[in-house]
Amino acid sequence: MRLLRLPVIVIAGIALLLPLCASDKKDESVSSVNFLVLKDDNGKPIRNAAVVLHPVGKNGKQIKAGFELKTDLEGKTHFDGVPYGTLRIQVIAPGFQTFGDDFSIGQPTQQVTIRLKRPQGQYSIYDKHDGSSSPPPAPQP
């Protein structure tokens, strides 16, 4: 029974992604989107970054169908057949802050460049200037 689950899951996933992948050359309502993922500090490409795509409905809610791409050595990837409208893009790469934003897709070919930042230091209200930590003083009655 377990051997049967995997093909069923794969077929169901393909069926969910077919509307995103369908590309008719005569249909002007889909776009070919090229992605470029770079390091924010030096502009060098980031390879193997996950670029996650989710169409957004007219009500502003993310549609459950989605697709994940990986960048190549030059930080590039692309997807043909993206429907016009709002596309929610999330980019995840080890050692970088996760990026997420909505983009308006409305041209037959579109370029999206994303710059990822390194993680920032975390700050706490409990930190003292000397680097040690202690809880804040108790309120006085």
pLDDT digits (tens, 9 = 90+) for 48-95: 999 999 988 888 787 777 889 999 999 999 999 888 989 999 999 999
Domain coordinates of the chain in residue numbers? 26-116
Task: Name the token pair of 12.
Answer: 């169901």
Distance of alpha carbon 124 from alpha carbon 116, whole angstroms = 24
pLDDT single digits (tens) 86-126: 999 999 999 999 999 999 999 999 999 999 999 888 777 77
CATH homologous superfamily for the domain 26-116: Immunoglobulins (2.60.40.10)
Q: Are strands 30-39 and 99-105 parallel, antiparallel or unpaired?
A: unpaired
